[in-house]
Amino acid sequence: MMAILIDGKQTAADIRAGLKQDIASLVNECGKKPCLAVVLIGDNPASQVYVRNKVAACAELGIESREVLRDASITEDELLSILAALNTDPAVNGILVQLPLPKHIDEKKVLYSMDPAKDVDGFHPFNIGRMMIGDTDVFLPCTPFGCQELISRVMPDTAGKHLVVVGRSNIVGKPMANMMVQKNRNANCIVTICHTAAPDLSVYTRQADILVAACGVPRFITAPMVKDGVVVIDVGMNRIDDVANPGKTRLVGDVDFDAVKDKALAITPVPGGVGPMTIAMLMKNTVRAFRIQNGM
């Protein structure tokens, strides 16, 4: 069987094109642009790339971005006062704090200090809690939000399907499972969450109609671990040595793509699957924040 390749790059481009039009008409209507503040602390090269990509996406869509770059030596109090100022700045619609933060800063304290109305990453417990009780007018965490969107493209009716998530992080696994179990969204799945305590993970993964791999282990999900006809969403972004190019690395997912694609109904590639969707959903959340804050 030849799997459908779920093209996250194209889907994200389509979403961005739609947002670009929306933004143009919003700007026409109210004379101002949405604005996203991106806070980057320190010089982690991966974080710098993520921030650069987010700022570039803003520019492409007509969203104003405000980069707040500070040295890793910043104190927690200084960072909290930056956030307090962004919270009350009426020109800022969305705030994103690029993680991870330096070890001396309490990440939770920082995230919890953000105004939930500007929490376009969807990490604030107020938004997570409201998502959990089934409220639909919340900012969904961008990566699982993007995964849900990709699933809907190949499986528009997921009601009663068994979704298995490998990984229980607060930013991917848990919200993914929670979003897909809701009765009031494009979801209504029977959900299983797996983690390292599973004695034999394949007992669960083999039951999946939809498998979301978010464990951060390169090519961890192999062909014998899935059933025929599964929809596979590979969230993993793992850098491994590129044997074809000594000294170089390459990006692979949490799924053994080449083997699993022969059993799957549909599968996301890495790169070009979930990654581009995360930024597209961040842009979507930012536009939503702008609309709400401007009563539109």
Instruction: Please report, as ranges, the residues that interact with ligand NAP according to CB under 6 A.
Output: 143, 166-169, 171-173, 194-198, 201, 214-217, 235-238, 274-275, 278
CA nearest neighbour of 277 among 19, 66, 2: 19
Cβ closest to ligand NAP, residue 57 vs residue 171 = 171
Nearest distance from C-beta of residue 237 to ligand NAP, angstroms: 4
Q: How far apart are CA 275 and CA 46, in angstroms?
A: 14
Is 54 an annotated catalytic residue? yes
Cβ closest to ligand NAP, residue 32 vs residue 162 = 162
Cβ closest to ligand NAP, residue 102 vs residue 271 = 271
Beta bridge partners of 40: 69
Q: Which among 22, 119, 121, 254 is annotated as catalytic?
A: 121
Nearest distance from C-beta of residue 166 to ligand NAP, angstroms: 5
Please tell me the total number of residues recorded for the chain in this structure: 296
Chain centre to alpha carbon of residue 259: 25
Nearest distance from C-beta of residue 170 to ligand NAP, angstroms: 8
Structure tokens at 71: 């040295």
CA nearest neighbour of 220 among 186, 270, 172, 175: 270
CB-based contacts of 271: which residues, under 8 Å, 6+ apart?
A: 237, 251
Q: Which among 54, 161, 174, 284 is annotated as catalytic?
A: 54
Nearest distance from C-beta of residue 271 to ligand NAP, angstroms: 9
User: Virtual CA dihedral for 249, 252, 258, 263, nearest 10 degrees?
Assistant: 170
How many Cα atoms within 13 Å fall on the side-chain side of residue 150? Answer: 38
Cβ closest to ligand NAP, residue 97 vs residue 235 = 235
Is 98 an annotated catalytic residue? yes
What amino acid positions are annotated as catalytic residues? 54, 98, 121
